[in-house]
Amino acid sequence: MRAVFLDRDGVINAAIVKEGRPYPPSSLATLEILPGVKDALDDLHKAGYLLIVITNQPDVARGITCRSVVDEIHEFMLANFPISQIKSCFHDDADQCDCRKPKAGAIVSVAREYNLNLTDCYMVGDRWRDIDAGILAGCKTIFIDYQYDEKQPTETNFTVKSLLEASKIILGGSNE
């Protein structure tokens, strides 16, 4: 079995960009699904890929967002897209947990659960933390580059502008 691990904000839904940095939507009402996401997820699912969202949601630990808001967004995504699981890390950097990207703990635990060979899997993300976690786990990585004003990944297998473009690479439509 193969899987595509997906970050949430900036990959499936639009991130709220403030001063060049991405932030999550504050509620289901402010959630905006990015163009082409439904088609990309449907195509990957039809091709036999397990779709797993791996997301850092530190605003819960910081007291900025209620966990119920994150749960509501995830319930919406699970009901509307062929996503098998959403694995959330609610910790902040200071917690030093293994599930917070750029560590690979969340990816590795899901790989064990589904008996995945991570070298056959992809990690798609829009931040260096996503790409570093994918590399650490042994996945191929695809960086969606929005040119945020923050640290950028030092390496990645592919750089694209959208999840739809990433899905075409994964499905063999492009080897650039």
Other CB atoms within 10 Å distance of the CB of residue 68: 9
| Domain ranges, ordered by start, for the chain | 2-170
Q: Give the C-alpha separation, 121 to 1, whole Å.
A: 9
Residue range 35-66, pLDDT digits in tens: 999 999 999 999 999 999 999 998 899 989 99
Domain 2-170, what architecture?
3-Layer(aba) Sandwich (3.40)
Known catalytic residues are 7, 9
Sequence-ordered list of residues with C-beta below 8 angstroms from that of 94, at least 6 positions apart, any chain: none
Mean pLDDT over the full length of the chain: 95
Residue range 110-143, pLDDT digits in tens: 999 999 999 999 999 999 999 999 999 999 999 9
Write down the pLDDT at residue 10. 97
Q: What are phi and psi of 16, to 5 degrees?
A: -90, 110
Write down the pLDDT at residue 173. 55
Mean pLDDT of 6-14: 98
3-state secondary structure of 175: coil
Helices and strands of the chain, counted as H and E runs = 5, 8
Tell which residue, 22, 8, 58, has the closest CA to residue 147: 22
Containing 122, the helix (H) or strand (E) segment is: strand 122-125
Q: Where are the alpha helices (DSSP H) in the chain?
A: 37-46, 67-80, 105-114, 128-137, 163-170
Q: How far is the CA of 132 from the CAs of 3, 122, 138, in angstroms?
A: 17, 12, 10
